[in-house]
Chain A
Amino acid sequence: MAGIGFELRRMLGKDSYLSEMSAYLYAAMVSSGPWLMSVLCLSILGLYSYSGFSRVDQDIFRTTIVYVYAFTLVYVGYIQLVVTRYLADKFYLGEERITLTAFFSSSVLVLVLGAILGIGGIWTFELTLTYKIIAVVLFLIVAMIWLAMIFLSAVKDFRSIVQAFAVGTSISVGAAFLLYPVMGLNGYLLGYTIGQAVIYFWLLARLLAEFPPRKVWDWGMLSYFIRYWDLALIGMLFNLAIWIDKILFWFAPDSRMVVPYLRTHDLYEGPIFFAYLTIVPTLAIFLIKIETKFYEHYHDYFAKIISKKDLFSILQEKKGMTLMLRESLREILIVQGSLTLLCLFMASEFIEIVGLSPIQKPMLQIALIGSFMQVLLSIAVIILFYFDLRKEVLLVTLVFLLSNTGLTLLSMKLGFTFYGYGYCYSCFMSLMCAYYFVSKSVTNLEYITFAGQPIS
């Protein structure tokens, strides 16, 4: 996570409007990360519902894509943070050469486990065998994309990520469009999968070009799963927490079964997905501010300690860091706050544009507020990660997961008018919890830095 700062500052250093914009774009791409892409793709393809495709096919396809993204994200979650940590440590030690080996090892892990999970998961669904096979392949490809992105962002190659996604997504849309008339639904999914495969192989090519291949198996990385079991757990549970309300809604009484057992909840999903789009700017700002300036302070703080400075200078540096954090937070609140407010007021117009039903307006509004808090939650979690407070993050994650589960079930029970409130309040509770930890750890930063040190 920390490494990205340098590249961003370098880009910002060019001091031109264009380069700054591109930095923001990259930042948005990388930070909003995986699930933003899924929302974007679906939005584009969502517009097809008026392009003459069969309604059922359209539903099957859309639900498949949502399932693939949701479950790959949760699935890859367990590997994401552990690998990020492993790479950061290796880079810190100057062992960049290890990268490809680690990539191969984790690929094997993701593919083998993913194939079992993918096949097992889709087996009972009433779909054609060809469709199932393509769907499993898509599942694996998307999972591999997330994995490749971890490695590429670790080596700070954001340009490749953006290029790959731009090209790949276009191909996905185009190929799906071209193959549907020929092969029907299978062709539609195949076309989409081809585009995603292009993304993956593009990223893979970049990785291969960057690093010479080495041995396939990396025991060092695997040992990290034992050492940082909490990271694996956090990665998986946090993604699950983000998705759990949607998953639960698929099983709500008023959800719809597209084909056994592909379920969807038309009312709930749309507003939630669209609300997510509003947090892109905040994530971009956050990445620029935190990953550049905050990282600088963070770095200087530890540099002061290591270079044997007195406590006063260390606390002075901490004060700068705190101040910077507070300022960034204010900025984020202003930007995201006004954007969210704007969207709240213009919810009716927005709903019309994207083709949602007017009865979904309150849901969109509550989802907007929820997203707003979720983005703040993500920021708090990243700050906690900076201080390596894994125990605290795990706690926040559990709060998020459990409250989102509990409150979503409750909102489902309470009825239609309460939809979205579960998610929103869950985000609020987890945010408060995370904020408490951030504030406590910033106050006691020097204590946490030192006293936690193991003896000898």
Chain B
Amino acid sequence: MSNEDHESGKKYDVCLLLEGTYPFVSGGVSSWIHNLIKGMPELTFTAVCILATSKEKAEYKYEVPDNFVDPKVIYLHDHVDIKQNLFNKITKKNMQKMNEFHKNMDVLDVGMMKEVVSLFRKNKFPLSELMHGKKSWDLLVDRYNIEVNKESFIDYFWTFRFTHLPIFKMLQLELPNARVYHTISTGYAGLLGVIARLTTRRPLLLTEHGIYVKERKIEISQAEWIYHKQDDRFRVDSKLGAIQTFWIRMFEQLGKICYDYSSEIYTLYEGNKQLEILEGADPAKIKIIPNGISLKNFLELKPEDHDYKGQNEFAVGFVGRVVPIKDVKTFLRACKIVALKIEKLKVYIMGPTEEDEEYYEECLNLVKLLHLENIIEFTGKVKVTDYLPILDVIVLTSISEAQPLVIMEANCAGVPAVASDVGSCRELLEGRTVSDKALGPSGIVTKVADPIETGEAILTILQKPVLRKKMSQAGIERVKTFYKESDLNKTYLKIYRKYMKMENLE
């Protein structure tokens, strides 16, 4: 990557550090970023986008705003052609520093980190020597003896290479010149942020939607391709192999570094904050900034004069893909309970069914088994706004969520919700802060995978018109007050302004 930006002195307001997301991958986080950039046309954004390999086609999935300029793309796992350099060897002194650095990874001495980064950027650690040199080999053997010892050496070797190579690549990367660096995850993008913070002395901000380290942990413990000893698999406590632990430790350390070097950490809800603290983030730095939604599409979907008391026909909605993580089966069982008490009931399951055909098939069988054929309708993928006006309650039985848009939309449309106690569902339905809680509940939170409690909660809402009306109003108020997209942009604009003005850090 060239350093022409540095030479030309081109300076951006904000440099986003993005890993596997905007503008090449669509999804929740990407839309969030897109709206953020679009919401602040007065700032110029640039980005370093980290993608896995150049083999996957990198094409824009968004019509990027005009203030999003000169994004750079770096490929994490692309083949690197290493040129042997006979004369550029790593000095003994520098290698010792590298050694120390590895040993004291957990302590995260600022000075040491700075020193190693600057050595990398002065090309004191040529890639060919790090990959093929004798000194770095000795380091690897050292680490092996300390870290895994009795495990497969060949796997350790390749793991070491696979994990270090992307890091080495990033350490040598020339970064765009910006007033504020903002990474949307820890991990590799977080590391880039740390490097930016150290080399440019400009502040680093971190926004975490999902907790990167936790997600990697789940991924790694499920990964079949990471070797671990046979006998470990048979253990009851399903202890992870040393190689898997090695991967996890690396991501933990990357996470920790990023937390430490970020001036502030933002996340969506309280649960995430707790996880971040658990991973080593300073609680004082963490601020909760929930997502916002654009109100105009959802407000006043429900007619003002809706007659809650005289109603005897009801419609229940479920928004989400028909996949195990959404736990559709619990929802179906809950519906049976409701159907036993309420005669005129209609249930819509709104979401694509083709992602996990097998699971969908099982759900259909369950519908037959419960004799709910006449009540339940799988609509496939639909526009939720078409259904929200006729729904009386929205249900979410997910096993895992962050800050589900479905609930925010339901709140906004004045439809009460029943949601399992995951992610920020409780905050969204019962309020987060004191003033938020004072608005009253906009739905009912239930235990995960509990059809009886879910069913009863649905019944409560349907059978108590006064409560339903109150919930509906509380939801609308809540979103209007705390979850407006324009507010979100204002909050971030304020943050950006504050840090852009800030003096250079030491």
Which residues of A are interface residues toward B (Cβ below 8 A)? 305-306, 308-312, 314, 444, 446-447, 450-452, 455-456
Contacts and interface: CB of A to CB of B under 8 A. Distances in A.
A67 to B, nearest CB: 42
Contact of B137 (A306, A312, A447): A447
Interface in B458-474: none
A449 to B, nearest CB: 10
A230 to B, nearest CB: 15
Interface stretch (B18-26, B147-155, B174-182): B147-155
A309 B134 contact: no
A451 B82 contact: no
Contacts of B452: none
B161 A455 contact: yes
Contact of A455 (B80, B137, B141, B151): B80
B132 interface: yes
B165 interface: yes
A304 B136 CA distance: 23
Nearest to B53: A456
Contacts of A310: 149-153
A308 B153 CA distance: 6
B57 interface: no
A311 B132 contact: no
A444 B153 contact: no
A305 B131 contact: no
Given A310-B150, A310-B152, A451 B144 contact: no
A436 to B, nearest CB: 16
B79 A308 contact: no
Nearest to B145: A311
Contacts of A308: 152-155, 227
Interface residues of B, number: 24
B133 interface: yes
Given A444-B134, A452-B132, A455-B131, A311 B153 contact: yes
Q: Which of A306, A309, A451 has the most CB atoms of chain B within a 10 A radius of its CB? A: A451
Nearest to B155: A308
A455 B153 contact: no
Interface in B67-83: 77, 79-80, 82
A455 B82 contact: yes
Contacts of B387: none
A319 to B, nearest CB: 15
B157 interface: yes
Given A305-B153, A305-B154, A308-B155, A451 B145 contact: no
Contacts of B157: 450
Contact of B79 (A444, A447, A451, A455): A455
A453 to B, nearest CB: 8
Contact of A311 (B77, B80, B133, B144): B144
A236 B149 CA distance: 45
28 contacts: A305-B154, A306-B154, A308-B152, A308-B153, A308-B154, A308-B155, A309-B153, A310-B150, A310-B151, A310-B152, A310-B153, A311-B141, A311-B144, A311-B153, A312-B149, A444-B134, A446-B141, A447-B134, A447-B137, A450-B154, A451-B134, A451-B137, A455-B80, A455-B82, A455-B131, A455-B161, A456-B77, A456-B79
Given A311-B141, A311-B144, A311-B145, A451 B153 contact: no
Contacts of B153: 305, 308-311, 314
Contacts of B141: 311, 446
B161 A309 contact: no
A246 B368 CA distance: 95
Contacts of B154: 305-306, 308, 450
Contacts of A312: 149-150
A451 B133 contact: yes
A240 B161 CA distance: 42
B249 to A, nearest CB: 19
B75 to A, nearest CB: 12
Contacts of B145: 311
A309 B161 CA distance: 18
A450 B152 contact: no
The 6 closest A-B pairs by CB, nearest first: A308-B152, A311-B153, A456-B79, A447-B137, A451-B137, A310-B150
A451 B152 contact: no
B77 to A, nearest CB: 8
Nearest to A450: B157
Contacts of A305: 153-154
Contacts of A450: 137, 154, 157
Nearest to B152: A308
Contacts of B152: 308-310
Contacts of B131: 451, 455
A451 B132 CA distance: 5
A451 B154 CA distance: 11
Interface string B138-177: 0001001100011111110100010001000000000000
A176 to B, nearest CB: 55
A450 B136 CA distance: 12
A317 to B, nearest CB: 12
A311 B153 CA distance: 5
Given A451-B131, A451-B132, A455-B161, 9 more contacts: A305-B154, A311-B144, A444-B134, A446-B141, A447-B137, A450-B137, A451-B134, A451-B136, A456-B79
